[in-house]
Amino acid sequence: MVDAQKKAVTAWLAIGIAALGLALLAAAWMQRDKGEGSGALPNAGENAGNPGSDRLVMVFPAGSVPKDLPLVEEEINRYLEGTIQAELDIIPINLAGWWDKTGLMFASNEQIDLMFTAGWMRFGDEVAKGRFLPLEDLLDRYGQGIKEILNPSILEAGKIDNHIYGIVTNKEFASSKGLVMRKDLLDKYDINLSRVRKLSDLTEAFAVIKENEPGVAPIQAKSDRSPFIFMMQNGFFDMLGEGPGALEREGNSTAIVNMIETPIYREYAKLMHEWNLAGYFNADAATSRDSEYEAVKAGQAFSYAESLKPGFDLQASRDTGTEMEMVELTEPYTTTADTTSAMFGITSNAKHPEKAMRLLNLLYTDPYLLNLLNWGIEGKHYVKVADGIIAYPEGVDARTVGYNINEPWMFGNQLNSYLWSNEDPRLWEQYREFNEQADKSKALGFVFNPEKVKKEIAACNAVDEKYGPAINTGALDPDQVIPLYLSELKAAGADRVIAEKQRQLDEWLAERGGP
């Protein structure tokens, strides 16, 4: 019986891996057709528009390339020519293809002056590969505005081995975990979110949507973004960077555990399996690389999981073009990954690191440039309705606006970003309160250096890619999959990674006199 179960699991995994490969290949060709394949966008030539300007390249993840990006880029370049004598090529890359595309850019020595990075995006691994420059000297010379705005303890969150490699976005530094849902369907079926306390409490709501809304997935998910992942990662555990080994949020212990061995991991994995059997997930959850909010925008989904913060329901409403409500399932929590959840680094492929730092400095100190990057051109993509408050122009909405990167949390000093007319005018003050009230991880400030176990981490990542999609989207019974998953992780060197994390954490704690 055990052999039969193992064969069934192996067969499913083989099919899933093949489907995933086809999906990624199709996505790559689709992105190439959109002009994303080479990373080239208008004004991509060296000193294209102004022979006296230096060309800078900024790369960051985005759901899609806005059709009006060339217009916004033109306005940005006109402004930069008069300030730092530079031109900027903005290259958004879909997150599904991020690692392949940026890896190719580094391998071919393609110019990247500024690149987005984060604790949840293999920051330590990227530093270990030598992809980012140390920034202390550049900060001292060209980043004085940044140093005045960011608290030194926050600025140092981007440190690894006593060097700053990433400049932290000034925003909220905590998160809670939960879901956002279509308000029209909540109202239609009188679904009361005030009674929801834990993830399993949503089962009844999803059953109602499944029964009454054909063609609408109760939960839109993908293998790396499901309710399970959000609840595990920083909901119940501090992941402590790349590779196996996490710190339990509850209690005072600083012992690092293998999350997959814990009872709560199995409990929530079983819930995902129950939901999958009930048909609550989108059918392609294990292989999809499409953004969840695009599915909601298309009327194909009811909800998706997210990291939450004050006002996130309104951000989700702009993303989807549909009024959304959110339900928080954990209390706010601050980990190093939260403080480093949005950073920009200057890469080893940079041609103009000095001007790259000057541009970063402007994004912290110059509200005009920041909002041009965030929201586009005044009068075309938004209009001001009050000081610091904007709305869509007449005849334009979230679905039709030509510039909708909608990622103000990613750039510079978010507290200089305009607020939308339907947002609370006290939102930035709420962010400060949110940061102050959040639970703090026992390892807040610790950054794991994966250099000594990078081979083991690579091997463990391969195991995660094999089994993770089935667990994260409930495609297989965890009682069958988890033992196989754990066995292969241990064979890949998971225990050595955990031991190295524990050693580094213990040293870090000792230097600070304990947790």
307-338 pLDDT, tens digit per residue, is 999 999 988 998 898 999 999 999 999 988 88
**Hey, which of 123-137, 369-383, 426-440 has the most confident mean pLDDT?**
369-383
Q: Say which range, 75-89, 247-261, 414-428, has the weakest mean pLDDT.
A: 414-428
Does the structure show a pLDDT above 70 at 68?
yes
pLDDT at 436: 85
pLDDT at 356: 98
Higher per-residue confidence, 363 vs 34: 363
Return d(Cα 217, Cα 303) in angstroms, integer: 8
Return d(Cα 160, Cα 181) in angstroms, integer: 38
Distances (CA, A) of 291 to 82, 167, 235, 411: 37, 27, 22, 20
Rounded average pLDDT over 62-83: 95
- Is residue 498 within 8 Å of residue 255, measured between CB atoms? no
Phi and psi torsions of 237, nearest 5°: -135, 150
pLDDT at 224: 87
Rounded average pLDDT over 275-282: 97
The CA radius of gyration of the chain, in Å to the nearest whole number, is: 23
Burial of residue 160 (number of CB atoms within 10 Å: 0-12, 13-18, 19+): buried
pLDDT at 156: 81
- Determine the 3-state secondary structure of 231 from DSSP: helix
Share of the chain above pLDDT 70, in %: 90
Q: Say which range, 5-19, 99-113, 479-493, has the weakest mean pLDDT.
A: 5-19
| Arithmetic mean of pLDDT over the chain | 88
pLDDT at 306: 94
92-122 pLDDT, tens digit per residue, is 998 889 999 999 999 999 999 999 999 888 8
Does the structure show a pLDDT above 60 at 50?
no
Share of the chain above pLDDT 90, in %: 71
428-472 pLDDT, tens digit per residue, is 889 888 988 899 899 988 888 888 999 999 999 999 999 999 999
Query: Which residues does 500 contact at the CB level (< 8 Å), separation at least 6?
Result: 452, 453
Does the structure show a pLDDT above 50 at 43?
no
pLDDT at 2: 43
Rounded average pLDDT over 279-290: 91
**Tokens of residue 363, six digits:** 């994004």
Return d(Cα 466, Cα 206) in angstroms, integer: 28
190-246 pLDDT, tens digit per residue, is 999 999 999 999 999 999 999 999 999 999 999 889 999 999 987 899 999 889 999
Here the contacts of 119-123 (C-beta below 8 Å, separation 24 or greater) are 119/241, 119/335, 119/336, 119/337, 119/338, 119/339, 119/340, 119/341, 119/447, 120/233, 120/239, 120/337, 120/341, 122/242, 123/160, 123/165, 123/166, 123/241, 123/340, 123/343, 123/447
Higher per-residue confidence, 470 vs 4: 470
Q: Which residue has the tokens 């994390």?
A: 501
Pairing status of strand 333-334 against strand 439-440: parallel
pLDDT at 51: 53
Q: Say which range, 10-24, 276-290, 334-348, has the weakest mean pLDDT.
A: 10-24
Pairing status of strand 176-182 against strand 383-386: unpaired
pLDDT at 422: 86
- Is residue 167 within 8 Å of residue 143, measured between CB atoms? yes
**Tokens of residue 489, six digits:** 């992780």
End-to-end CA distance of the chain: 47
User: Is the whole-model pTM more than 0.75?
Assistant: no
**Tokens of residue 179, six digits:** 């879901």
Rounded average pLDDT over 44-68: 76
pLDDT at 23: 42
Rounded average pLDDT over 157-175: 91
Would you place residue 3 in the very low, low, confident or very high pLDDT band (cuts 50, 70, 90)? low
**Tokens of residue 290, six digits:** 């499409």
Positive or negative: CA dihedral 182, 185, 188, 193? negative
Return d(Cα 360, Cα 368) in angstroms, integer: 13
